[in-house]
Amino acid sequence: MRLLGDPVPISPKLIEKVEARAVLLVQFLAEAHAPQPRDPRLTLAYPLASRRTLTYRVNARGDTTETQVAFESVGRNGVKRVIDALLRWTPTDRADERILTTHTQGFASRDDVTPAFRFIQTIIIDNIKGTPETGCRWDDLFMAVVDETGVYRPPVARVKTFL
């Protein structure tokens, strides 16, 4: 019998599901924001021939969750891309802050060990929660992209969130 206030036991299967979701989210975000090299010979051709996760780690400290994932994608043209991504997510009652840092390396073939292309990018997203209305709320989305070319700040976006 558990009493009110006792810690809730968390099953290993539940932890695996949460980690798997976090890893898939980071892979999706990193892939969606991955830069394309200017040299067309280094561009990944879709559909992919293979994709595999090299390493992953999920840490939760207080309200902050950090997910680090390294994965490899090989295009049907033999070009290989390795992305090492770190997502730090801090939700609060007033806002959600996400910081995604990616280190992308492109290789001319799947057997190469020296990258022909490297790119580091950090995307900072602050989602300021609006006042709830009937079934939804309007949030303000602030974003900044930092990379070797400089800092880019698109205009603030108003986003409708359904509750």
pLDDT digits (tens, 9 = 90+) for 73-121: 998 989 999 999 999 999 888 999 999 999 999 998 888 889 988 999 9
Contact 102, 33 (CB under 8 A): yes
How big is the CA angle at 110 (ends 80 and 86), to the nearest 5 degrees?
Answer: 40
Predicted confidence (pLDDT) per residue in 8-62, tens digit: 444 556 556 667 778 888 888 888 888 878 888 888 888 888 888 888 888 888 8
Would you put residue 78 in left (φ > 0), alpha (ψ -120 to 50) or beta?
left
Interacting residues of 69 by C-beta distance below 8 A, sequence separation 6+: 23, 26, 27, 30, 53, 55, 56, 84, 85
Partners of 70 in the β-ladder: 55, 84
